[in-house]
Structure 1
Amino acid sequence: MTNAISRLSVAFLFLVTAAVSQAFITPAKANPTLVVDIASGRVLHSSQATEPWYPASLTKLLTTYIVLQEIRAGRLTLETPLTVSARAEAEAPSKMGFKPGTVVTVDNALKMMLVKSANDLAVVFAEGVSGSVDAFVERMNQTAQQLGMRDSHFANPNGMPDERQHSSARDLAVLARALLTEFAPYRGYFGIGAVQLGKRLMRNTNGLIGRYPGATGMKTGFICSSGFNVVATAVHGHRELLVVVLGAPTAVQRTIQAAELLDTGFSQRGWGSQTLDSLPVSTATAPPDLRDEICGANRGKYLADDDNAAPVSASVAGSEGISLFAGPRVNGVAAVRGSAPNRLAPRAKTTPIAVFVGATPGDGPDSTAVATAGKGKDAQTSKQAATAKPIAVRKTAKGGRPPREASAFAPVEEDAKIGNAPMALQRAIKPAKGGSTKKASGKAKSAKSGSEKATKSELATAAKPPRRPTAKSQKKPTKASTQPLSLAPPTPPRR
């Protein structure tokens, strides 16, 4: 009798614990979530994981996968130059805003697309790989089927609103795990904290980077119809987990929820009983449309797909919650939450990676002359979001191009003074010694003193910085320079 009561008590406690845990990490409304162990593929947590959802810019993970396939096949290299077309330039924000004819290498385009979430560069990749966007979309759907993404269909390479485009938390986890396991040397691209193009400083839209201990990267996504999405990875000890959050109401809540889910996964001992393949198939036929809920009359102030646009607290909040798991409690979310509700803690300082246009540094035009999206008030997205027109899922597909008004709110950019902001320059490229800006300003002064009638355009031309010098013994990149930049920790050993 005593043993029976004891067993009932344990069972009751387990059910209560599971219910409280689920309520702690999952909002009441539709909000698919998933936690997966990357090495084993085991599912540690799943909620609505196979429900259809608009992936938004998480689509760019599949675009990246295909680009890396082309590199593996030898049809592309990191130095392959790609040309911006008129169609790419016409894409709605978030974008780099390069003029048609601008050349950018595969390496630089990957960095800018994954950090800035640039829609125009996704089109540049589509046209560079397949010759046209339509042909690339066909390749995307073939690749998705080969990967086992059974809930997915794609209509464009960047995730812009289109009712035909859908995926699921489960499929996005399949894709992310394939990227990390098949292309491990390139995983550093997903964890870059910031990139710098001339005076434009762009921080990663993934709010876990620089906050959550052990965060290694991946990608965010947002359109009004999807809410705020993220695929994120992190390492704790000898374990690396992948988390998917879809449909969060704000970028801040997306980041906090992802951190809570990572804590939940890292706090568990053992492995989940389910795999991605064993998750049940959804009976839903179409994604929910959150447009009114996310971007309607009662929407929040900060609607950019970017935690950088949200308020940041001065200090980090203390530990919250109780331990509900058999393993030691992991509390990485304490480094993410701010000291006030709906705020994030400050990010750790990061050194931006220098990017450039042109086949080599200095070959392309000045970034301010081609990057129209980075000028003036266009970068003030937190102000734009308060009055921006909501995005509707596209109902028609005339010409295969979304309407201009169907744009996601662009991430925040910052001005950076060349020569002052630290840069980690990739491969054989060396930083300019003595400050190239000093030479540029000297040229501008001499031009002005030489002619009082000089026009503003002439002064601007004279003030352009010269090409970045390289080491005397390294005028051209060596074979070593074709190796990908890897910034993330090495993959934990398989068990």
Structure 2
Amino acid sequence: MLPRLAGRLIGLGALLAAGTAGAVTAPMLVVDVDSGKVIYSQGATDPWYPASITKLMTTYVALDMVRQGRASMDQLLTISEAAAAEPPSKMGFKPGTQLTLDNALKIIMVKSANDVAWAIGENLGGSIDGFAAQMNETAQRLGMRDSRWTNPNGLPDPRQWTSARDMAVLGRALLRDFPENRDLFSISAIQFGRAVMPNHNGLLGRYAGVDGMKTGFICSGGFNVVASANRNGRRILTVVMGQASARERDLKAADLFDYGFGQSGFGWGGQTLNDLPTSSIAAPPDMRPYICDKRRPMPTDADSSAVTAGAAAGGNADNANAQLMAAGAPPSSALAFATMNSAALRNRALPPRAPLQPVLVWTGRDPAESAIAANDDAAPAKPAAPRVKVAKPQKPAPSRSIAATGATVPQPRLLARQKPATPAAAAAFASTGPATAVIAEPKGHKAAVKPAAKPAAKDAKPAAKPAQKAEAKPASKTASKPAVKSARNKDN
């Protein structure tokens, strides 16, 4: 039997009080999906708090009801006051909001929204207790002998627990019984309105071949994941529970995948999920003192992005095994997992995440009808009103004549074309010159003004007759009308 010391919790040792004379380690399991053969097992039947991987059970019950004709993917679910009151992670929908079962399942698989999972339970089961009864009945039928369910979202309840083995049984059943719905577990992100929410699963888009399934976190259970990966037509399911952070959970799962894909069928020992012995532990250990230390910020299941933050690129389990083999060490699974706690590999990082491909979700039946609701009800991001570029208020262009106000009209280009009313006015205009006109030029216009000397010299001869004509026209026709035209051009 593989030493239980191998693969212990990073930083915690793995000795956790469990209410018995013994001690437990963080559960881990690697299984071949098609055959059900166990590739690696550690504490696989020990009871554990599931957190949001509960939503895999919720999804199975919902899809099974659709298959039986008791529900449909396009039926509307209503958010109740109780659902809306569930704590985060949540969408924040208002009571009375409706959405299809199809959209609800996408949301709980990606966003892990507790309010939406609660609504699924209430609407499909008639009540939370009624839905929990269906969860327990389905679990027994599937052979999940270590599980007890009380709610559909996985929020803390001391009566609700499962095991790594049972979650592997459930994962296999989902992939086997609903192949047409496998895309539910591999959505990289959802988009609701303008908000794009990435999947909490930090392995998606980072580890080659990973195509699902679900993560979970509560203080009492630590960071859990049920993940599937496919390489060259061979599918492996990995379950990791009780890790101290999302980063450590993701790295541990990646190492388990590396080990699983590196093994041949002859090294599995012939043990199946049904052959795993029953645990001697009576109740799940409480991880809260280790995971949610009051002296540190509260960890979240959404911090998988920290996988690439501040960590140097490093090797993987395959590289570590290669080094061990070069040194003459046997490539046993115990050594493979022991390397995960070595100082040389502690700062490893998974590759950067592949670009997200968001899937649209909405409230109501039709995405067009939910456009307004998406902006009003979405909690992940406060929607803003559409940006409209509003021009700054401008002072109205002067339309009064120079003679009436004594001010310079801020239209030098037009002013230069006017004929002075009298010889005296011409002389005054010539004395100011183009400099005065340039100062009054509004921002954005070029100061194209003809020299003042020419108009003064050219118009020195006219006397009374031009004066009457100039006083009648320039003040209204020349100074007023072009100013309005200029303001319109700027607004456009």
User: Normalising to structure 1: TM-score of the pair?
Assistant: 0.68
Q: After the TM superposition, which parts of structure 1 deviate over 3 Å for at least 4 consecutive aligned residues?
A: 24-28, 313-316, 323-327, 342-345
| Aligned mates of 1:356, 1:339 — CA distance in 2 | 43
Moved more, 345-354 or 279-288: 345-354
Measure how far apart 1:65 and its partner are.
Answer: 0.2
Q: Which runs of 5+ in 2 are unaligned?
A: 15-24, 323-329, 394-492
Amino acid at match of 1:322: N
Measure how far apart 1:142 and its partner are.
Answer: 1.1
| Aligned mates of 2:290, 2:95 — CA distance in 1 | 37
Is the Cα contact below 8 Å between 1:80 and 1:105 reproduced in 2?
yes
Match of 1:356 among 355, 358, 362: 362
Is the Cα contact below 8 Å between 1:302 and 1:310 reproduced in 2?
no
| Aligned residue runs from structure 1 range 4-403, under 5 A | 23=6, 28-29=13-14, 30-271=25-266, 272=268, 273-297=270-294, 299=296, 301=297, 303-310=299-306, 312-313=308-309, 316-319=313-316, 320-323=319-322, 325=331, 341=347, 343-364=349-370, 365-371=372-378, 373-375=379-381
| Aligned mates of 2:154, 2:45 — CA distance in 1 | 19
> Percent same amino acid at aligned positions?
47
Q: Deviations over 1:113-155 (max 9, x none)?
A: 1100011111111111111111111111111111111111011
| Aligned mates of 1:342, 1:87 — CA distance in 2 | 43
Is the Cα contact below 8 Å between 1:252 and 1:342 reproduced in 2?
no
DSSP-derived class of the 2:118 partner: helix
Amino acid at match of 1:341: N
Is the Cα contact below 8 Å between 1:25 and 1:257 reproduced in 2?
no
Specify the alignment match of 1:430 in structure 2: none
| Aligned residue runs from structure 1 range 421-432, under 5 A | none
DSSP-derived class of the 1:23 partner: coil
| Aligned mates of 1:236, 1:298 — CA distance in 2 | 42
Amino acid at match of 1:34: L
Cα pair distance change 1:326/1:237, threshold 3 Å: farther
Amino acid at match of 1:354: L
Is the Cα contact below 8 Å between 1:225 and 1:291 reproduced in 2?
yes
Q: Deviations over 1:464-491 (max 9, x none)?
A: xxxxxxxxxxxxxxxxxxxxxxxxxxxx
Moved more, 67-76 or 160-169: 67-76
| Aligned mates of 1:322, 1:340 — CA distance in 2 | 15
Larger Rg: 2
Pick 1 or 2: higher relative contact order, CA cutoff 8 A, min separation 6: 1
Q: Deviations over 1:80-122 (max 9, x none)?
A: 1111111110101111110011111111111111100011111
Is the Cα contact below 8 Å between 1:206 and 1:307 reproduced in 2?
no
Is the Cα contact below 8 Å between 2:247 and 2:304 reproduced in 1?
no
Is the Cα contact below 8 Å between 2:99 and 2:365 reproduced in 1?
yes
Q: Deviations over 1:273-292 (max 9, x none)?
A: 11111100011111000001
Is the Cα contact below 8 Å between 1:317 and 1:340 reproduced in 2?
no
Cα pair distance change 1:313/1:287, threshold 3 Å: same
Q: Deviations over 1:254-291 (max 9, x none)?
A: 00000000111100011521111110001111100000
Could you say what the CA RMSD is over the residues aligned between the two structures, in angstroms? Answer: 3.0
Q: Which runs of 5+ in 1 are unaligned?
A: 1-14, 377-414, 418-436, 450-495
Corresponding pairs, count:
362
Cα pair distance change 1:226/1:111, threshold 3 Å: same
| Aligned mates of 2:258, 2:55 — CA distance in 1 | 26
| Aligned mates of 1:132, 1:362 — CA distance in 2 | 31
| Aligned mates of 1:325, 1:51 — CA distance in 2 | 27
Is the Cα contact below 8 Å between 1:316 and 1:339 reproduced in 2?
no
Is the Cα contact below 8 Å between 1:313 and 1:345 reproduced in 2?
no
Measure how far apart 1:310 and its partner are.
Answer: 2.3
Cα pair distance change 1:51/1:88, threshold 3 Å: same
Is the Cα contact below 8 Å between 1:253 and 1:342 reproduced in 2?
no
Cα pair distance change 1:24/1:283, threshold 3 Å: closer
Amino acid at match of 1:305: D
Measure how far apart 1:70 and its partner are.
Answer: 1.3
Cα pair distance change 1:368/1:343, threshold 3 Å: farther
DSSP-derived class of the 1:64 partner: helix
DSSP-derived class of the 1:310 partner: helix
Q: Deviations over 1:31-83 (max 9, x none)?
A: 10000000000000000000000001011001000110111112222211111
Specify the alignment match of 1:410 in structure 2: none
User: Normalising to structure 2: TM-score of the pair?
Assistant: 0.68
| Aligned mates of 1:357, 1:339 — CA distance in 2 | 45
| Aligned mates of 1:374, 1:78 — CA distance in 2 | 24
Cα pair distance change 1:169/1:308, threshold 3 Å: closer
| Aligned mates of 1:302, 1:206 — CA distance in 2 | 19
Q: Deviations over 1:400-458 (max 9, x none)?
A: xxxxxxxxxxxxxxx9x9xxxxxxxxxxxxxxxxxxx9xx657x979x99xxxxxxxxx
Is the Cα contact below 8 Å between 1:203 and 1:308 reproduced in 2?
no
Measure how far apart 1:346 and its partner are.
Answer: 1.6
Specify the alignment match of 2:485 in structure 1: none
| Aligned mates of 1:360, 1:297 — CA distance in 2 | 45
